[in-house]
Amino acid sequence: MSHFPFTLPLLLDGGTGTNLIAAGLPAGVCVEDWIIKNPAPLQELQRGYAQAGSNAVYAATFGANRAKLAHYGLENQVAEINRKLVQISREAVGTGVLVGGDMAPTGLFIEPYGDAKLEEIMAIYREQAFALKEAGADFIGIETMMSLWELRAAVLAARETELPIFTSITVEGNGRTIMGTSLLSCVITLQALGVSAVGVNCSEGPVGLAELIDSVFPYAEVPLIVKPNGGKPDPNDSSKFDLTAQEFALHMRKLIEAGASVLGGCCGTNPEHIRLLNEAIEETPTRIHSEIDTFAAANDKEVFFLHEPEGLTFSEPIPCDYDLEDTLLDMEDERVHVALVSLSSEDDVQILSAAVAITPLPIAIRCDSLQLLEQALLNYHGRAVVDSASDIDREELQAIADRFGAIVV
């Protein structure tokens, strides 16, 4: 397993929003601004988490990005708001507990899924990530994400801070996000980009998650995060969840046994949940890897495990034209392992980016321009394969592939 910068197992905090609502947070306000003006409820809560055993708490910076703050006319106060919120948490827990800088969805959609450009999304996350670093955050937690493409954009931006990065998605009962992103796709793609941990938060509670964690554990080079809700919410009262703290901890034991080693709670959990979870961690042995299989490509929905490079069969080079999606779909019945796509212009980059999500085969990129390859890998929302048979110097080719977590064959 790759180096993890903190001691494992790591106990995170529990829910924030549901507890603040109970403490008087009104509806319709900017949560971050309200906390800055009313820090006492959050600080009391986070001190409670520290006393219950949390090794880390998340600063209340969940919506403190430019896109979200713009709804309240606060988009020009990103640095100040993040600084104050990290300071509030640091004052609550002191220096013996880690403070994570929390980042979450922007509410924008990247092309071709929406109107926002990838560079625009990355700029929003970059601004917040550096604000969190300058505020003194110990790590960045990117959580409650619905799509690999936005999560990946956040990771690429946050990685520039050189802080450890924890990432987690929110899954439905089928183990995927509402956008169809799979946890295994996130594990394969994001650990290759250098994140410190990958996993699940929020979701429908811990029940049933053990099977999902068990299924991705053999492929995880990084620790797996589980920070679920306190069960399913009451349909008549969204502040109530269907598990007691004891039931929550019992199900979390199963998740530890399945391989999770960064643990906490989300909506509907409180310091009592964390206290009992701490006991569960102390009493439950950590699962150990035998071997890890990471020779795989991925898009946001599927992972493609590859044979050893000498055993891979590539297709004939496919031009990256407007028929690319149809061509890729038609290849499912052909006896090839990898679809080899040739890039020759900047227009090809967006065509390829749109096709990645629907291909039934892993895609290998053949390109003779280092600049064009860089743009293609930047916009490839998954883990790509790069064809080594190009006019690009092999060391330069490997360096750009490593930067984006791609596999060179």
Q: List the chain pLDDT tens, one digit each, 409 residues.
A: 457 999 999 999 999 999 999 999 999 999 999 999 999 999 999 999 999 999 999 999 999 999 999 999 999 999 999 999 999 999 999 999 999 999 999 999 988 778 899 999 999 999 999 999 999 999 999 999 999 999 999 999 999 999 999 999 999 999 999 999 999 999 999 999 999 999 999 999 999 999 999 999 999 999 999 999 999 988 888 778 999 999 999 999 999 999 999 999 999 999 999 999 999 999 999 999 888 888 999 999 999 999 766 678 899 999 999 999 999 998 876 788 899 999 999 999 999 999 998 888 999 999 999 999 999 999 999 999 999 998 999 999 999 999 999 999 9
Q: Is residue 3 part of a domain?
A: no
Q: Is residue 113 part of a domain?
A: yes
**Per-residue pLDDT tens for 72-117?**
999 999 999 999 999 999 999 999 999 999 999 999 998 877 889 9
What does the alpha-carbon distance between residue 299 and residue 67 come to, in Å, rounded to a whole number? Answer: 26
> Residue 28's pLDDT is what?
94
Here the CATH number for the domain that contains residue 131 is 3.20.20.330
Residue 101 and residue 59 in contact, taking contact as beta carbons nearer than 8 Å: yes
103 and 176 together in one domain: yes
What does the alpha-carbon distance between residue 321 and residue 316 come to, in Å, rounded to a whole number? Answer: 15
139 and 278 together in one domain: yes
Residue 292 and residue 38 in contact, taking contact as beta carbons nearer than 8 Å: no
> Residue 293's pLDDT is what?
86
Q: Is residue 5 part of a domain?
A: no
318 and 234 together in one domain: no
Among candidate residues 223, 248, 283, the one where a domain is terminated = 283
272 and 380 together in one domain: no
Using the Cα atoms of residue 109, residue 113, residue 116 and residue 120 in order, give the sign of their dihedral: positive
Residue 196 and residue 169 in contact, taking contact as beta carbons nearer than 8 Å: no
306 and 372 together in one domain: yes
Beta-carbon contacts of 284 under 8 Å, excluding residues fewer than 6 positions away, are 253, 256, 257
> Residue 331's pLDDT is what?
85
Residue 172 and residue 231 in contact, taking contact as beta carbons nearer than 8 Å: no
Q: Is residue 126 part of a domain?
A: yes
CA atoms within 13 A on the CB side of 343: 29
Q: Which domain holds residue 346?
A: 297-408
Among candidate residues 255, 283, 311, the one where a domain is terminated = 283
Beta-carbon contacts of 405 under 8 Å, excluding residues fewer than 6 positions away, are 189, 190, 191, 192, 193, 194, 383
131 and 37 together in one domain: yes
Here the CATH number for the domain that contains residue 345 is 3.20.20.20
324 and 268 together in one domain: no
Among candidate residues 251, 283, 315, the one where a domain is terminated = 283
> Residue 236's pLDDT is what?
85
Q: Is residue 291 part of a domain?
A: no
264 and 304 together in one domain: no
> Residue 308's pLDDT is what?
67
218 and 311 together in one domain: no
272 and 347 together in one domain: no
Judged by phi (left if over 0) then psi (alpha if -120 to 50, else beta), residue 91 lies in alpha
The structure's pTM equals 0.96
Q: Is residue 248 part of a domain?
A: yes
| Nearest to 268, CA basis, from 234, 237, 240, 227 | 240
Burial class (CB in 10 A: 0-12, 13-18, 19+), 369: middle
User: How many domains does the chain contain in total?
Assistant: 2
> Residue 2's pLDDT is what?
57
Distance of CA 385 to the CA centre of its chain: 21
Q: Is residue 128 part of a domain?
A: yes
Q: Is residue 404 part of a domain?
A: yes
C-alpha torsion angle, residues 365, 215, 169, 127 (rounded to 10)? -50
**Per-residue pLDDT tens for 134-156?**
999 999 999 999 999 999 999 99
100 and 183 together in one domain: yes
275 and 350 together in one domain: no
> Residue 289's pLDDT is what?
86
